[in-house]
Chain A
Amino acid sequence: MFRTQEMEVNMGPQHPSTHGVLRLELRLDGERIVDAWPVIGYLHRGIEKLSESKEFIKITPYTDRMDYVCAMSGNLAYVGAVEKLCGVTVPEKAGYIRVIMVELNRIASHLLWLATHALDIGAMSIFLYAFREREMILDLFEAYCGARLTYNAFRISGVPADLPPGWKEECTGFLKLYRQRHHEYEQILSGNRMWLKRTQGVGYMDADQCLALSVTGPVLRAAGVARDLRKDEPYAVYDQLDFDIPVDDGCDTYARYLVRMAEMLQSARMVEQCLEKMPSEGPLMGMKGRKMRPRKDEEVYFAIEGPRGEQGVYLISDGTDLPYRCKFRNSSFANLQALAPMVRGGLVADVVAVIGTLDIVLGDSDR
């Protein structure tokens, strides 16, 4: 008689597939996973505690450091929350610039996801291609705000600067090129037998489970729920743009791949529309001065659709220009809860695929 014994294996925090410092305590029965216990907090920097001692205007750079792969979304969620709290309106032109930046950053973020996810599973070449295009987006960001990763690109009530001369043409050129390159990625992966074998049926999670576990974003949309805050609760200028929400009901890693790929094209479409519709003249800031005067003892929750899901900021004011409480509801934190149910019963090798498909950023989950 063979007797198997459950074994505990520690994966991470330095494992290359964990995209940062995620540690997983796996309980294995042979190659099968009995249970997984994610351990996070290695990147906890106490941003929420720090925020309580900073003026509203000084917190924006901290939001870059949470989700450093998509810092524009972090900026937008935070400044949006403060604007909501103070009742500040944003000029239309600033709204367009914000959407351009956020959507380009979504493409960059999804490209990074595609590159590393495919690399983890074993497709090397796509990694190099995707980084090539991501680099072009970072160049565009550098031309706009001077930074490549931590942008601090938005201000409360607007944006600090107009697009530099020639930027629009550069961006249009990039988008045209990007569409061709996107087609190349799909040719490399979508019908690839190895890719299908590694992703189809892996990390299954249906819509009910996703909602129960507060999982949002592409993971939820790949379970057949058309939940997208850009459509459901439009912010910035999304209500003036024409775009679709890609949905798939495969519920597995391959479905999430399809959803994210389609999202990148939609983002490109949105950026093109914004460049076209953006007014050439107009104010960029809706408010003069830097002092915030929120009402006393009020609270707001403002959420945007980040590349990983609902990215919310909860603020409590005490009437001063320091927040009394600043809580960041980051999608990586909530989505990471889905990891254990997704890998349970699967193979050890699929853990890598599941971590990739959840598209987590540990700086985002640990704050």
Chain B
Amino acid sequence: MPTDDTRPPAGTPPPEEAPAPKAQDPLLAVVPCPALERLQEGLPGRVGEPHFFAGEVTLTVAMEHLLEVCEFLRQDPACCFELLADLTGTDFLGEEKRFRVVYHLASLKHGQRLRLRTQVGEGESLASVTPIWPGADWFEREAYDLLGIRFDGHPRLVRILMPDDWVGHPLRKDYPLPGYPEHHLRYRTADVTRRSYVDISWKVSGERAAAIVKKYKGKSGAPESAPHAPMPADTTNGQKNGS
């Protein structure tokens, strides 16, 4: 198993690139983050080891401590993350705790960003951060809609992008890309509008249909002998729908 170097072991490694030691990789450089030091001081032991990648700081926090850490990051004057830029989840199917939820925080005052990451299992629910950042409302609804992650304390956790009566959560990894065919059938027009549309094409047939078509042809000023045949009754439909 390759440990840090994620270049494909097999195949053709580029000859000029020797595997560089971790410390010299510019992507993995440690960046200064004052909020992180403050957080480790103010709430010791609540967050895991920081991870640095491409100039970004990721902190892992257990779901029990999430609200406490968020509150601290929002209120502490040295952190002061006023803006919740994004909140989203990812399905890591097969892991012990299935979903990973990330919070992208931004501080305008100090000009820094921080990513908080937490994990939540399928049956569990996460504390909602809407009391701290009301803007989390829609982001949490989206995570619930597309991934089925539940948030405790959310004002109204309902679907946002998918239809209200959709079955399943599409962004889960075990949800097939084309969807479930049996669910497609549920979205026939007649079901959605709760009205029965009568397709007249099978009710009128034969001579009468020809007469109707002729009548309207005449009205629109088209020649009687139209080059294209008048639309006849759909015979397959007619047979299917019976008498």
Contact = CB atoms under 8 A, between A and B. Distances in A.
A55 to B, nearest CB: 15
A87 B86 contact: no
A50 B82 CA distance: 32
B137 A337 contact: yes
A338 B104 CA distance: 19
Chain A contact residues (Cβ within 8 angstroms of B): what range? 35 or more
Contact of A232 (B111, B134, B136, B171): B111
Interface string A263-298: 000000000000000000000000000000111101
B88 A44 contact: no
A48 B58 contact: no
Contacts of B135: 212-215, 334, 337
Given A211-B108, A213-B134, A314-B102, A329 B26 contact: no
A35 B161 CA distance: 21
A49 B177 contact: yes
Nearest to A324: B90
B161 A214 contact: no
B160 interface: yes
Contacts of B171: 48-49
Contact of B27 (A44, A46, A295, A324): A295
B88 A314 contact: yes
Contacts of A334: 135, 138-139
A46 B170 contact: yes
Interface in A298-346: 298-301, 303, 310, 312, 314, 316, 319, 324-325, 327, 329, 333-334, 336-337
A295 to B, nearest CB: 5
A87 B26 contact: yes
A225 B108 CA distance: 9
A85 interface: yes
B162 interface: yes
Contacts of B54: 84-85, 87, 298, 300
Contact of B85 (A84, A293, A295, A303): A303
A122 interface: no
Interface string A207-228: 0000111111000000001010
B77 to A, nearest CB: 15
A150 to B, nearest CB: 21
Nearest to B115: A301
Q: Which of A232, A319, A325 has the most CB of B within 10 A?
A: A325
Given A48-B146, A212-B133, A41 B163 contact: yes
Contacts of A303: 85
B8 interface: yes
A152 B31 CA distance: 33
Q: Which of A84, A211, A215, A227 has the most CB of B within 10 A?
A: A211
A312 B84 CA distance: 12
Nearest to A300: B54
Contacts of A98: none
B7 A293 contact: yes
Contacts of A233: 111
Interface of B: 6-8, 26-27, 53-54, 56, 58, 82-86, 88, 90, 102, 104, 108, 111, 113, 115, 133-139, 142, 146, 159-163, 170-171, 175, 177
Which 4 pairs, one residue from A and one from B, show the smallest C-beta to C-beta distance?
A214-B135, A41-B161, A296-B6, A329-B86
8 contacts: A87-B54, A212-B82, A214-B136, A296-B6, A312-B86, A314-B102, A329-B86, A337-B135
